[in-house]
Amino acid sequence: MNKLYDFLKCMIYASFYVIVIKTSMDFYEYKRFPKLYEQNSAPWYTEALLYSAASLFVIVVYAVLRGIVRRKIKKG
């Protein structure tokens, strides 16, 4: 159970890191090549927002699972 608890903790941290890295890469690409985004009808950060929302859902699921595992560890 402790290994599962540690795994879920690592997955939550990794998901946060991926969100930060992906958003940073999108922002860098927008600043580096702004002409690519002029023809799009949506703003440049739409993809980053959708990716962050999906990742946030995964983080919430992992956090709930981590809470369940923590309760089982405390009970014995």
pLDDT in tens, 2-37: 899 899 899 889 988 888 898 888 889 889 988 888
Question: What pLDDT sits at residue 65?
Answer: 92
Contact 69, 1 (CB under 8 A): yes
Report the number of distinct structural domains present in the chain: 1
Give the torsion sign (CA, 32, 36, 38, 43): negative
Name the pLDDT band for 60 (thresholds 50, 70, 90).
very high
Stated pTM of the model: 0.70
Q: Which domain holds residue 56?
A: 2-75
